[in-house]
Amino acid sequence: MAVDQRTRKSRLGNPTGGLSGPAIKPITLRLVWESSKAVQIPVVGLGGIETAADVLDYILMGATAVQVGTASFSDPRASERLADDVRMAFFDANLFAINELRGNFLPEIG
Ligand SMILES: Cc1cc2nc3c(=O)[nH]c(=O)nc-3n(C[C@H](O)[C@H](O)[C@H](O)COP(=O)(O)O)c2cc1C
């Protein structure tokens, strides 16, 4: 929610709204991790994806694909840019296939 103290009215029409973007990534990353362990179907990761590192985080947690929402509002070509950046990130990490990363998260600290 968001309120205008001067008018005492909601800044949102409903008057509530959904939360998206980087603020939700720690939560959605956990949900993708838990979901991908629980089901035998592909899981799409999303929530706060802005960089190639975000994409790799979701793949590591078990995502087969990712979706970009909020970042597209500030940069309509975000998905296009990320496709290139992810390719470079894989190259930099000496990874050749998504299978080398997907679901290989190690839950130990460090
Ligand atoms: C303006 C806006 C509209 C959305 N509309 C829908 C929708 O109609 N159906 C849906 O399943 N999710 C909708 N979402 C949620 C997104 O699909 C996504 O789950 C969420 O925004 C998290 O990803 P993000 O942090 O990349 O935005 C919407 C999100 C935003 C910001």
User: pLDDT tens digits, residue range 30-88?
Assistant: 999 999 999 999 999 999 999 999 999 999 999 999 999 999 999 999 999 999 999 99
Structure tokens at 97: 């296939």
pLDDT band at 110 (very low <50, low <70, confident <90, very high): confident
Q: Is residue 26 part of a domain?
A: yes
Q: Is residue 4 part of a domain?
A: no
In angstroms, what is the span from residue 71 Cα to ligand 1's centroid?
11
Residue 106 has pLDDT above 90, yes or no: yes
The candidate with the shortest Cα–Cα distance to 67, out of 81, 55, 85, 52, is: 55
Answer yes or no: are the C-beta atoms of 49 and 27 closer than 8 Å.
no
pLDDT of residue 104: 96
Answer yes or no: are the C-beta atoms of 59 and 101 closer than 8 Å.
yes
* Domain hosting residue 23, numbered range: 17-100
> For ligand 1, atom 6, which residue shows the shortest CA distance?
69
In angstroms, what is the span from residue 81 Cα to ligand 1's centroid?
20
Q: What is the CATH number of the domain that holds 82?
A: 3.40.50.12600
- Please count the structural domains in the chain: 1
Answer yes or no: is the C-beta of 49 below 6 A from any ligand 1 atom. Answer: yes
Q: Is residue 108 part of a domain?
A: no
Could you check whether the bond before residue 107 is cis, i.e. omega within 30 degrees of 0? no
Share of the chain above pLDDT 90, in %: 97
pTM for this prediction: 0.93
In angstroms, what is the span from residue 74 Cα to ligand 1's centroid?
14
4 Cβ contact partners less than 8 Å away, ≥ 6 residues apart: 10, 11
